[in-house]
Structure 1
Amino acid sequence: MQASFKARAGRLLGATLLSLCAGLAQADDKITFLTSWYAQAEHGGFYQALATGLYKKYGLDVTVKMGGPQINGMQLLTAGQADFIMGYDFQVLNSVEKGLPVTTVAASFQKDLQGMMTHEDVKSLAALKDRSILAATTAHTTWLPWLKSKYGIADSQIKPYTFNLQPFFADDKVAQQAYPSSEPFQAMKNGKKVNFFLFADDGYPPYGTTIVTTQKMISEKPDVVARFVKASIEGWKSYLADPAPGNALIKKDNPKMEDEQIAFGVKRMKELHVFDGGDAATMGAGVITDARWEQTYKFMVAAGLLKPETEWKKAYTTKFVKDLKVMP
């Protein structure tokens, strides 16, 4: 009887251990994703994927962390404190130039969100030649060289932008850098009629709100990368169809974000076709192409923003999006 009891106990213990091991084997992969700024509509697809269980559906336990002015996302990524970050093509190309092992794996938006806000009498970017243009310091190493080259903007026209809209409101001959859901929203709240011109619609080449990870993650956990990309892009499609779940998490992370501003941001993203325009319309959302990256590389080299010998093809890979086929 004692031997029989021990045998039964052994079988029970073995079954319990097998059950525990199976549970561990099926545990979701833990992922930390770092955004580029405080939570807002332009981050909505990632919050939506979390809120609606899309990440869970693809076996991922995702933590979304907000970026901010004092947070260096690239530094945290390369230090292993984040698995993916919300990136920017210029930033990634400059990082590759410095030898950092980082790569873009997908693009939330086919268009970068940077643009120009003008008074309503200005009908195009070509009409800026007689205007003062307010631009932040970072503009000099991103979009400003493109604007100067394309439209003949003179250095004498450029004035510092201090993220205060009063100079714009006070002078009808001033134009300023803007994002579609930020400065135009503030102008609307102040009763000012303005125009907004998205640089991408005039040929500015970089993608917007990209997903960036390390080459180590790509080589060691390609399946995790593939699942994160797919869930995130599906999250964007879901968010633009019904943003309520994602908005709840955005407001939880950033209580200062008002419903009206979030709604304005969603509206503008739809109107500008940043998610479903360009190659995404035929190739599927999230897509990135060799041609677009080459265009960005050539622009940066011509503008003196990147060394010609930079191994620019290391800045991206198309393998996680070429067969994704999430049609917007």
Structure 2
Amino acid sequence: MATLDRRAFLRTTGLAGLALGLAACGDSGASGGSGSGSGFGAVKIQLSWKKNVEFAGEYFADSKGYYKAAGFSQVELLSGGGSGTSVESGLTTGRCWIGLSTPTITAPAVLQGAPLKIVGATFQKNPFAIVSLGKSPIQDPKDLAGKKIGVQDSNELVWNALLKANNLDPSSVTRVPFQSDPSMLTSGQLDGYVGFVTSGPVRLKMQGVDAAHMLFADHGLPLVAETFTVTQETIDKERDKLKAFLTAEIKGWKDAVADPAKAAELAAKTYGKDQNLDVAEQTEEAKMQNELVVTPDAKANGLFTMTAELIEQNIASLAKAGLTVKAESLFDLTILDEIYKADASLKLS
């Protein structure tokens, strides 16, 4: 699937994103609900990919009126993906107010001088994984030795970082050119491939194939994903507005976590109805992604929060990927801290 290649590129390289600003936040697709809401007016959120169940929390926040109740007359959900779409360039050109991205894309932008900050992380764990067959699972990095692993060129950065994090000699693994065709795995041409845990194993399961996975985040490369990214100016001058928005997002994601079936229905039948999504598959993907959203720390501290330890782990992981950036230059979790201090009921029960 070519779409996964583009998706992987956007999430793991991103270095060309700032040069593509005018293409950044196009394709609004289904937008947020309009209405007579007051206070903060209309804003645009740039999604990291096309409208599937990955953005279920945003769909709930829109359809259940959480955005409107927070004071927004409209929150427009801009589709990501496609040629050259970049949250970072959209933010720096003002074509979107907030976006969902990932540290491996935002960090290069910050290192190039973009005044951006990550203020929360929907996925406490990045979905990158080694997907393999249940009958011969790859469950530990040491299992990679002597194996044939499919790796897209666009995933080279994160693949090399995984090898470095686990002190694995690249020559001990046979890297096979890969274009997201799972039949290479089921036919025995590959022992595993680099893919997303939220989609690869689910699609194989839907085909009746028993699949296994090994999350990069659990094996030396902890990185968050679907990170809420804004400009420093938004933090400095629109803090209350940002708090209101993130509060609505928290409510939406609490609903999404609690009801994967409804999340899939909203994705397939309303917000992503032009994507030809399968409700059953989207439901399984929603269940899988809940494992990335809800961790013990997220339960204890609230959705989107990052502990100091997790932030430092992300900084260390970025360094393994060749991106040396200071935590205070990339993350600002004080907004979420203030939200949960003011209303502890927003935490997961």
Establish whether TM, by shorter chain, passes 0.5.
yes
Is the alpha carbon distance of 1:209 and 1:134 closer, same or farther for their aligned partners in structure 2, counting shifts above 3 Å?
Answer: same
- Partners of 1:52 and 1:245 within 8 A in 2: no
User: Is 2:219 the counterpart of 1:205?
Assistant: no
Runs of 4+ residues over 3 Å off in structure 1: 24-28, 243-249
Structure 2 counterpart of 1:63, which letter? E
Out of 47, 62, 65, the residue aligned to residue 35 of structure 1 is: 47
| DSSP 3-state at the match of 2:294 | coil
| Unaligned residue ranges in structure 1 (runs of 5+) | 1-23
Q: Aligned residue pairs: how many?
A: 300
Q: How is 1:1-328 mapped onto 2 (pairs within 5 angstroms)?
A: 26-60=38-72, 61-70=74-83, 71-120=85-134, 121-125=136-140, 126-150=142-166, 152-155=168-171, 156-171=173-188, 173-243=190-260, 246-251=263-268, 252-255=270-273, 256-270=276-290, 273-301=291-319, 303=320, 305-307=322-324, 310-323=325-338, 324=340, 325=344, 326-328=346-348
- Partners of 1:97 and 1:311 within 8 A in 2: no
Output one character per residue of 1:162-220: Cα deviation in whole Å (capped at 9) or x when no partner.
Answer: 12222112116520012223111221233221111222223422112111111111111
- Partners of 2:40 and 2:241 within 8 A in 1: no
- The structure with more radius of gyration: 1
What TM-score comes out, normalization by structure 1 length?
0.84
Query: Whole-Å Cα distance in 2 between the matches of residues 166 and 268 of structure 1?
Result: 22
Structure 2 counterpart of 1:294, which letter? E
Q: Which has the higher contact order (CA 8 A, sep 6+)?
A: 1
- Partners of 1:96 and 1:311 within 8 A in 2: no
Structure 2 counterpart of 1:295, which letter? Q
Is the alpha carbon distance of 1:174 and 1:164 closer, same or farther for their aligned partners in structure 2, counting shifts above 3 Å?
Answer: same
Query: Whole-Å Cα distance in 1 between the matches of residues 186 and 238 of structure 2?
Result: 51
**Aligned-pair distance for 1:90?**
1.6
| DSSP 3-state at the match of 2:45 | strand
> Once the two structures are aligned, what percentage of the paired residues are identical?
21
- Partners of 1:34 and 1:82 within 8 A in 2: yes
Query: Whole-Å Cα distance in 1 between the matches of residues 285 and 333 of structure 2?
Result: 28
**Aligned-pair distance for 1:95?**
1.2
Query: Whole-Å Cα distance in 2 between the matches of residues 72 and 274 of structure 1?
Result: 23
Query: Whole-Å Cα distance in 2 between the matches of residues 170 and 304 of structure 1?
Result: 32
Query: Whole-Å Cα distance in 2 between the matches of residues 172 and 278 of structure 1?
Result: 38
Query: Whole-Å Cα distance in 1 between the matches of residues 224 and 87 of structure 2?
Result: 18
Query: Whole-Å Cα distance in 2 between the matches of residues 26 and 47 of structure 1?
Result: 20
- Partners of 2:158 and 2:321 within 8 A in 1: no
| DSSP 3-state at the match of 2:292 | coil
- Partners of 1:44 and 1:250 within 8 A in 2: yes
Match of 2:23 in 1: none
- Partners of 1:108 and 1:210 within 8 A in 2: yes
**Aligned-CA RMSD value:** 2.2
| Unaligned residue ranges in structure 2 (runs of 5+) | 1-35
